[in-house]
A and B are shown apart, each in its own frame.
Chain A
Amino acid sequence: MYGGGNTFEGIKTDSLSQEDPVKLAAFEARIARGEKIEPTDWMPQLYRKQLIRMIEQHAHSEIIGALPEGTWITRAPGFKRKMALMAKVQDEVGHAQLLYSAAETLGKSREQMIDDLINGKSKYSNVFNYPTFTWADCCFISWLVDAGAIVNQLANAKGSYGPYCRALERICAEESFHLKYGHHCVIYLASGTAKQRQMFQEALNRWWPPMMHFFGPSDKISAHTEVLMRWKVKMGTNDEMRNQFLDMYVPKIWELGFTIPDPNLKKNTETGKWEYTEPDWEEFKRVINGNGPCNKERLEVRRVAEARGRWVREALKSPKAAYVTPLA
């Protein structure tokens, strides 16, 4: 699970002038040919830095993303839902494991990344800083937040860094279960009792604004990312991703007879683009910067989990198992 916003801050390209121009040209040519970059290849510092940041944020989003749905893991109604939700949240933890490993190949240790997360030094998707009040919120995430994540992940799987692409390939294969499961849950709420329908409508009302934020600020106000696009680090603009999501899922939400809480939402038949009320980007910034409804709890839970697990890790630490950078 993962959203835009990762490239929200502008990047400085000054360091590029210090790179070896011959190596840089060969590197860019390789990407242009559609060949993947592997860990032992030469790469510009900026590429390494941006990739670590992006993959790390993606990994954090998975491990933190396990929490809002995990809120309902002990309360899922009936065997089918109980087992599915357990497996689904487990997958998200697994995604974090895969993504941290991919980032590790670039030279940052997993523990350092986790420390940076807990200390508030690195970010994760803003969407997970919202609470899941009812079972229906949990269903919203399983279906639609995962759907949004899949839009991003499928695009990123075509990126230039080999280990990240391999991790994403596996992740995308697992996500198809999440998406189907989530839709299944929502279909059952939609076709169920009045109470069940109402539960989902309320969840939709709560989650629509964070869902629109999910893909990151609109292109008009986002930082320039041309070089990241050329290097196939960023694979599409925030608005393109958002539009793709709306295209695929708004009709499915309407089909179930729910109302999306945005009176201006409609597809412009001429441009093929969706029109909507501009999301509140000030709110987005507030949440990304740590002041959303659940930021504190999410980080505190991770901190406590780390602290509780420390005796296990310390007990088994040995020079024999010293850390090295993984291979691929």
Chain B
Amino acid sequence: MERFVDTFFNGAVLIRYAPAILEGAAVTVLLSVLIVLSGVLLGGVLACLRAYRIRALSFIIVIYADVWRALPPLVLILLGFFGLPNVGMVLSSFMVLYLVLTLVLAAFAEEIIWAGITATPRGQWEAARSTGLSFTAALGHVVLPQAVRMVIPPLTNRAIAITKMTALGMVIGVPDILGQATTAQSFSANASPLTLAAITYVILFLPLVIASRWLEARFTPPGV
């Protein structure tokens, strides 16, 4: 037991590395917020563009969404971090992580919001157009608000899953929670920084996970 505490909850180690992990937490939160904002926004724009049903454009959007949903983010991160410099594009590890996860979330968000748009009853379009609204106005003021409401639960779940992937930044040296913790762990030869990292993630994400379940219960119609 003593050995267990000493290994995973070593007071001295915890105190020494807590500030670093707190800094890491700030990086994780900043990245997460940026990714969610830009990813959902980009996904929403793509879904709206698809609503115009311009064949070539829709095709490109579908291909983009499929590919970015099929590829493991870690593959994309490594490609961005190690591949791009070879063609003269040097991005910081923070930037690579931000861009990759934003584009991944945008791909998922596009599919989810598009599903919401197609699930909005035809009558809503017809009612809006019959009162003289343009296609764009009908989309923006009538259909999109309903579509987004409908897909809040899956969108939230996906956003949480992808912001959790900021931990992958550790592989390319982003000083996020996990990055700081693995560095600290190798310096201190003790597992306590990892424990602290795990606890920090749970503190950050558990409320979101619980909130997403609540949203699900609230917004999902019960069984038929």
Partners in one complex: no
